[in-house]
Amino acid sequence: MFKLEARPQPSRLMSCASPLIALAITVLIGVCLFIWLGKDPVKGLEIFFVEPLKNAQAISELAVKAVPLLLIALGLAVCVRANVWNIGAEGQYLLGAVAASWVAMQAGPGTGRWIVVAILLAGVIGGAIWSGIVAFLKDRFNANEILVSLMLVYVGQQLLDFLVYGPWKDPDGYNFPQTITFLSVTKIPRLMVGYRANIGVIIAIVAVAALWVFLFRTYRGFQLQVGGMAPAAARYAGFSSRSALWIGLLISGGMAGLAGALEVAGPMGQLTPYLSVGYGFAAIIVAFVGRLHPVGIVFSSLLMSLFYIGGELAQSRLGLPKAMTSVFQGLLLFTLLGCDTLILNRLRWIGVGKPKHSEEA
């Protein structure tokens, strides 16, 4: 029988090992799932972990999906570290895309390449406005940010639907709910000809570095995290909880909006109602699996991207529902939270049959 007891100090080793153990457990459950569904588990694992890495084209596709996850998760990590629970990144992502689309649709024959900058900026602003509403309502009226940010996801989706079914519908689009295809001048520049991966990759890498510096080298970043860890200590020190709220939400909203702009002016090239594929929610998992650390999030976003591509492949190759991706994502976060217990606690063997001490009667 094992007993769970507090460690004198948090374990650094477990802090890094826990996501790996969680991944192993998730894969194990995945194998069982494949067997249960009558599919070859080796083939299943291959589709999820080998196929998406087999050549340059595949890796480019991996990056296409990892970039939005990475950007959104970085912002969410800042938020969670400030103990602000923004779970509506999906809505901020959509609004970023909407704002970016509006700019993209203004392009005409004489527009220069500078418009890409304006599109990205619009994305940031769109996302930040959506999360700014959350910050405002929390700051001014103390309204719970978890619920408000989530409600705004639904509102954002309806707003998007309204635009593409209504005023922004392509007049020559055979009545499909979508905007015009954006002019090629608005297209986010690609890294290499023939591959869909674009400069979003570079933006994401810069963002990782910038947020690392912000969190661990600047006083502002320090203040924000103290507010998250110990609100009373932040008040004592004189760090403003309001500014932590606003900074956290504006950064995460802006990053989500940027991801939306990159997506809509990148691989999509037009605004459709099917923009939302759950990146905003998956990014919550990415942030936690990446230990809320910018470098950790790089790895976890790549992992989550594998899940996305694996899910698509499993659909086309094995005829499994695409939702398998979200099953794995949810499982991963679940097992991770369980394994994280071992960071602050350790298991101690207390012999067979002895009653558990830590138990109340």
Partner 1 sequence: MESWALQAAATLNAGTVLALAGLGLLINERAGIVNLGAEGIMLMAAFAGFATGVHTGSDLMGFLAGGAMGAVLAATLGYLVIWLNANQYATGLALSLFGSGFSAFAGIKYTQEKLGPRPHFEIPGLSKIPFLGTALFKQHPMVYLAIALAVVIAWFLYRSRSGLVLRAIGENPESAHALGYPVRRIRLAAVVTGGALCGLAGAYLSVIYTPLWVEGMVSGKGWIALALTTFATWRPGRILLGAYLFGGVTMLQFHLQGQGVQIPSQFLTMLPYLATIAVLVLISRNPAWIRANMPASLGKAFFPEG
Partner 2 sequence: MTELRLELNGISKQYPAVKANDGVNLRVTPGQIHAVLGENGAGKSTLMKIIYGAVRPDEGEIRWNGKPVKIRNPHEARALGISMVFQHFSLFDTLTAAENVWLGLDRSIPLARVIQRIREVAEEFGLDVDPLRPVHTLSVGERQRVEIVRALLAKPQLLILDEPTSVLTPQAVEKLFITLNQLSQQGCSILYISHKLNEIRTLCHHCTVLRGGKVTGEVDPTQETNASLSRLMIGAEPPELKHREAHLGEVALAVKGLKLPKQDPYGTSLSGISLEVRAGEILGIAGVSGNGQNELMAALSGEDRRSPEGSIELFGQDISHDGPDPRRKRGLHFVPEERLGRGAVPMLSLAQNTLLTRHESVSRTGWIHKSEVLKLAESLIQRFNVAAPGPHAPAKSLSGGNLQKFIVGREVDAAPRVLILSQPTWGVDVGAAATIRAELLELRDAGCALLVVSEELDELFEISDRLVVIAQGQMSPSIPAHETTVEQIGEWMSGLWPREAAHVQA
Nearer to partner 1 (CB atom), residue 141 or residue 219? 141
CB of 265 to partner 2, least distance (A): 33
198 binds, among partner 2, partner 1, none (CB under 5 to 8 A by kind): none
Q: Which residues contact 252 (CB under 8 A, 6 or more apart)?
A: 72, 75, 76, 78, 79, 86, 89, 92, 131
The reply on whether position 338 binds partner 1 by CB under 8 A is yes
Looking at the Cβ atoms of 9 and 184, the one nearer to partner 2 is 9
Alpha-carbon distance of 256 to 32, in angstroms, equals 35
Encoded one letter per residue, x for contact with partner 2 by CB under 8 A and - for no contact, window 10-29 reads x-------------------
Nearer to partner 1, 7 or 54 (CB): 7
Q: How many CB atoms lie within 10 A of CB 336?
A: 22
Give every CB contact of residue 150 below 8 A, 6+ residues apart in sequence: 87, 88, 91
d(CA 348, CA 346): 6
Name beta bridge partners: 347.
4
The Cα 179–Cα 258 span in angstroms is 19
Partner whose footprint covers residue 338, from partner 1, partner 2, none (CB < 5 to 8 Å by kind): partner 1
357 binds partner 2 (CB under 8 A): yes
CB of 270 to partner 2, least distance (A): 42
Q: 3-class DSSP state for residue 238?
A: coil
- Closest by Cα among 244, 255, 303 to 280: 255
Assess 155 for contact with partner 1 (CB under 8 A).
Answer: yes
One residue of 49, 102, 165, 299 binding partner 1 per CB under 8 A: 165
- Residues in contact with 21: Cβ distance below 8 Å, sequence separation at least 6, in sequence order: 335, 339
Residue 152 touches which of partner 1, partner 2, none (Cβ within 5-8 Å per kind)? partner 1
Interaction with partner 1 in 288-307: which residues (CB under 8 A)? 288
The DSSP letter of residue 346 is E
CA-wise closest residue to 62 among 292, 271, 304, 269: 304
**Binding flag, residue 319, partner 2 (CB under 8 A):** no
What's the min distance (Å) between Cβ of 177 and partner 1?
11
Amino acid occupying residue 266 = G
The Cβ-side half-sphere exposure at 310, using a 13 Å CA radius, reads 23
Residues 212-271 that bind partner 2 (CB under 8 A): 217-220, 222, 226, 229-230, 232-233, 235-238
Which of 54, 323, 347, 348 binds partner 1 (CB under 8 A)? It is 323
Give the interface segment with partner 1, choosing from 58-66, 98-106, 110-118, 148-156 (CB under 8 A): 148-156
Q: Does residue 360 bind partner 2 (CB under 8 A)?
A: yes
Residue partners of 297: CB distance under 8 A and separation at least 6 = 70, 73, 74, 77, 208, 286, 287, 290
Residues binding partner 1 (CB under 8 A): 4, 6, 85, 87, 137, 141-144, 146-148, 150-152, 154-155, 158-159, 161-162, 165-166, 281-282, 284-285, 288, 321, 323-331, 333-334, 337-338, 340-341, 344-345, 357-358, 360-361
Q: Which residues bind partner 2 (CB under 8 A)?
A: 5-10, 217-220, 222, 226, 229-230, 232-233, 235-238, 357, 360-361
